[in-house]
Amino acid sequence: MLGNTMLRWSDPALLRRFLPRIVSGEYVFAQGFSEPGAGSDLASLSLRAEPHGDQWVLNGQKPWSSGAHKANWTFVLARTNPDAPAHRGISMLLVPLDQPGIDIRPIRNLTGEADFNEIFFDNATTELGLVVGEIDRGWTVAMTLLGFERGATALKAPIRFRNELDRLIELVRERGLHRDPDIRHRIAWCHLQVEQLRCHGLRTAATLIAGEEPGPAAAFKLLWSEYHQRATELAVDVLGLDALTPTGWPSPNWFHTDDPGAPNSSASWTSVYLNARAGTIYAGSSQIQRGIVGELVLGLPKEPRPASPAAR
């Protein structure tokens, strides 16, 4: 995500410094976008970055940062001009995590694992020149990055979901439920959704091959996140009481499916089921995705905002 975005927005000197180290794994980046009170409403972020000499000084908080406890850098959206409108005055900064001004606190989830983290910035610093794109123009840069993120997901996710659905069909056969009309109906629905996702992936691939940016991927995010919840619910229903006492290896992934070739164990399915609950929240909730589809794809008017208490 970051490398492709930097190719679009960064000067050659910054590319020479960072891209080789990103490719080699020397620099591992975590994403620092969402904040308390500014999750799906990303423009409401309040992390402050103020210039001081040849450095930015950062103060604020970034929760829900995936893998931050294993990273040594983060790319953050910070408010660099508090007097500008919400979508302006934001910059994307590259910040080293191994410094005294940063405190990383893992957040334990339903599975008992800690994949998300809170990052606290207390007079943390980074070099003044480590800005992706222009200062105060980070919103456009962020939209480019999110396009690459969802574009990459659109390419690989349909393959993983097809592999997972094949495992689910195998599980249904193992449990002798392949003649159950309700199970067959639900499997057929899953098949249709995976085929839709495959078509989205092919369209995204064609867009990238043509040298174009993927653009809004809200419909794809909406489809896969809601599909995956229902598919894993079906798996848990097929497992029955065995889902209450999981055995075998759980999935090592917090995102999407278990690995291809994973055993059809109850621990694998139940851990993926629990992780899928977050799919309609992270990376923009389903409600936000529907708003994007309506406004940016279908050209519908914006949702009316509720009147302020003073105006009622």
Residues marked as catalytic? 149
CB 144 within 8 A of CB 132: no
Distance separating the N- and C-terminal Cα atoms of the chain: 44
List the beta strands (DSSP E) in the chain: 29-32, 48-52, 55-62, 73-79, 90-96, 102-107, 116-127, 131-132
Q: Residues 83, 84, 85, 91: is their CA dihedral positive or negative?
A: negative
What is the amino acid identity at position 108?
R
* Cα dihedral sign, 67-282-161-250: positive
Q: How far is the C-alpha of 120 from the C-alpha of 104, rounded, in Å?
A: 6
- Cα 62 to the center of its chain, rounded Å: 14
Largest pairwise CA distance in the chain = 71
Q: How far is CA 5 from CA 21, 27, 72, in A?
A: 15, 16, 19
How far is residue 248 CA from its own chain's centroid? 28
Rounded to whole angstroms, the Cα distance separating 84 from 278 reads: 33
> b/e for 250-274, b at 16 or more Cβ within 10 A?
bbeebbbbbeeebeebbbbbbbbbb
Strand, helix or coil for residue 44: helix
Identity of the amino acid at 195: E
